[in-house]
Chain A
Amino acid sequence: DAKTTQPTSMDCAEGRAANLPCNHSTISGNEYVYWYRQIHSQGPQYIIHGLKNNETNEMASLIITEDRKSSTLILPHATLRDTAVYYCIVGNPHQGAQKLVFGQGTRLTINP
């Protein structure tokens, strides 16, 4: 079973920041938070991951709360091409080949 909960859907205006929340209250100390997204009829795409510090890359920023029970993925300037289903997943990469268990994700729609 997925260990995360996310809102089913969200809308955001083009050019604005999209903030996608994720709850992972049962996360263990050595589990990371990963974000992937899936554009319609394609395979999922890696976005970002983190353990406890906030992370930023060319795609997004990841803000993890101090107690690590929740996180927020931020797309700073959303474009129409960011419309996709976003999945928040927790896992421990140091336990060998880990399986990624997908929840239902958040369907993000970017509106012009």
Chain B
Amino acid sequence: GAVVSQHPSWVICKSGTSVKIECRSLDFQATTMFWYRQFPKQSLMLMATSNEGSKATYEQGVEKDKFLINHASLTLSTLTVTSAHPEDSSFYICSSLGVIRNTEAFFGQGTRLTVV
């Protein structure tokens, strides 16, 4: 099956710094990827839709200047958390649709971000 690889698995950073999370589709081309955030004991919340070669579409309440998304190729989307604060500490997950049937999504392993 299709594989989506996310890196890093976990990261600790200081307040005010920026962190980049990568999401790669390993055996298929992904024109669209999705970024989610998950706080402890809560469900996944969609942050934005990443489109290859164009601007990302952000969900209501998500600051586009704080969560920069770049989808420059068909196999890589990146999420950069800029000027991170402790409240940005969360589990970030990317996903992409299966290209064969376009009916199921494949998720990355997730990145646990801790801002200290």
Partners in one complex: yes
Q: Which residues of A contact B (CB under 8 A)?
A: 32, 34, 36, 38, 41-46, 49, 87, 93, 97-105
- Given known contacts A44-B107, A97-B31, is B112 in contact with A102 (CB within 8 Å)? no
Determine the chain B residues whose CB is within 8 A of the CB of A43 once the complex forms.
4, 6, 93, 95, 107-110
Which of B14-22, B62-70, B81-89, B97-105 lies at the interface?
Answer: B97-105
Determine the chain A residues whose CB is within 8 A of the CB of B49 once the complex forms.
97, 99
Minimum-distance CB pairs A-B, first 7? A43-B107, A97-B32, A93-B103, A102-B44, A46-B104, A102-B43, A44-B107
- Given known contacts A43-B93, A43-B95, A44-B93, is B106 in contact with A101 (CB within 8 Å)? no
CA–CA, A101 and B107, complex, Å = 14
10 additional A-B pairs beyond A38-B44, A105-B43, beta carbons within 8 Å, are A32-B103, A34-B104, A41-B112, A42-B109, A44-B95, A46-B104, A93-B101, A99-B49, A101-B46, A102-B45
Q: Is the CB of A44 within 8 A of B43?
A: no
User: Within the complex, what minimum Cβ distance (angstroms) separates A105 from chain B?
Assistant: 6
Contact of A100 among B31, B34, B110 (CB under 8 A): B34
B41-80 interface with A by 8 A CB criterion: 42-46, 49
Determine the chain B residues whose CB is within 8 A of the CB of A87 once the complex forms.
43
Cβ-based interface call for B28 (8 A): no
Contact of A103 among B32, B43, B105 (CB under 8 A): B43
Count CB-based A-B contacts (< 8 Å).
55
Contact of B34 among A32, A46, A93, A99 (CB under 8 A): A99
CA–CA, A36 and B93, complex, Å = 14
Q: Is the CB of A44 within 8 A of B44?
A: yes
Q: Is the CB of B97 within 8 A of A97?
A: yes
List 6 interface pairs A-B (beta carbons < 8 Å), by A numbering.
Answer: A41-B91, A42-B109, A43-B6, A46-B105, A97-B32, A103-B43
Determine the chain A residues whose CB is within 8 A of the CB of B97 once the complex forms.
97-98
Q: Is the CB of A100 within 8 A of B102?
A: no
Determine the chain A residues whose CB is within 8 A of the CB of B107 once the complex forms.
43-45
CA–CA, A94 and B101, complex, Å = 10
CA–CA, A103 and B105, complex, Å = 16
Contact of B95 among A42, A100, A103 (CB under 8 A): A100
